Amino acid sequence: MSELSAKQKGGHPDELLDVVDEDNRVMRQAPRREVHVNGDLHRSIHLFLVNDRREILLQKRSQWKPDWPGCWDSSVSGHVTAGQTYDETVFREAEEEIDYRCSDPAPVLLIEGSELTGREWVQLYVEKPSKRPRLRPDPAEVSELRWWGWDELVEALVREPDSFARAFRTLFFMWRQTEYVIPEKDRTGWYRLYSEVPDRLQILRSFLESAGLAASVERDQHWLGHAGHGMFGQRNPMESDLCVPREHLSECIALLYLSEVQED
């Protein structure tokens, strides 16, 4: 058998990564092998591809991978190399691993680095392809691809957790807490997070703005009558959309879905 390439062994050990602190600020660069041996905090991306049938694409990691070989993992995952951004990395890794060209991966959650994530600050992206993609996985990285129904996946995670990579288990259950949010762009380029009646959305918008985040409510003029006069308690019940800019998306989702309102 021929000698395995560095990629087949799970990435070049001398690849430089950004070492970050507890606030995800870059402190220095170090070789990949050193980062892993020392347990330094560093960065990675994970991408969930989902379809209209409530299915998520998972990859089975190659047996050559040094971590979690043969286990099911996110559609795409990979380290952020030194000097690169999360966004640059998700586009690159998707093409390298499964020959998928991202269109609009939405950064839904930024997860703090811990033992559960392999000491990685993880930016989780979610994208819904416009049509079922034709994928060609790199055999050095991926041994199998499979679409899983969400309920089926939850059952498998509970029944056989060790069949799934630890970081994926953490990320999936956090995404599940957001009710499987899949933000979509509105006509202004912002992302829709909620669709409800305007009164409720105005409260949520104020909550986000109080945290220093930008938000808007589409069609929030529905409380006005046809002549522009207030309807005095007879607001139009038509649903509106709460939208946020991309740069605030992860923080807004964390606040709206993963935080609890404290009562006095």
- Rounded Cα–Cα distance for residues 164 and 160 (Å): 8
Q: What share of the chain is helix, strand, coil (3-state, %, to 5)?
A: 30, 30, 45
- Of 153, 135, 163, 124, nearest to 53 (Cα)? 153
The residue-averaged pLDDT of 135-141 equals 95
Tell whether the model's pLDDT for residue 61 goes beyond 80: yes
pLDDT exceeds 70 at position 180: yes
What dihedral do alpha carbons 115, 120, 121, 123 form, nearest 10°? Answer: -110
**pLDDT computed for residue 58 by the predictor:** 98
User: Tens digit of pLDDT for each residue in 198-241?
Assistant: 888 999 999 999 999 999 997 655 444 444 444 444 455 567 89
The pLDDT of residue 245? 97
* The pLDDT of residue 5: 43
pLDDT at residue number 136: 95
What's the pTM value of the predicted model, to 2 decimals? 0.88
> CATH 3.30.70 region(s) of the chain?
184-257
**What angle, 0 to 180 degrees and rounded to 10, lies between the N-to-C axes of helices 150-159 and 166-177?**
130
pLDDT value at residue 199: 83
CATH topology of domain 184-257: Alpha-Beta Plaits (3.30.70)
16-177: which CATH topology?
Nucleoside Triphosphate Pyrophosphohydrolase (3.90.79)
Instruction: List, by residue range, all CATH 3.90.79.10 domains of the chain.
Output: 16-177
Of all residues in the chain, the percent with pLDDT exceeding 90 is 77
Confidence (pLDDT) at 9: 43
Phi, psi of 125 (to 5 degrees): -110, 150
What's the pLDDT tens digit per position in 64-114? 998 999 999 999 999 999 999 999 999 999 999 999 999 999 999 999 999
pLDDT at 237: 56
Q: Tell me which amino acid residue 42 is.
A: H
Name the amino acid, one letter, at 83: G
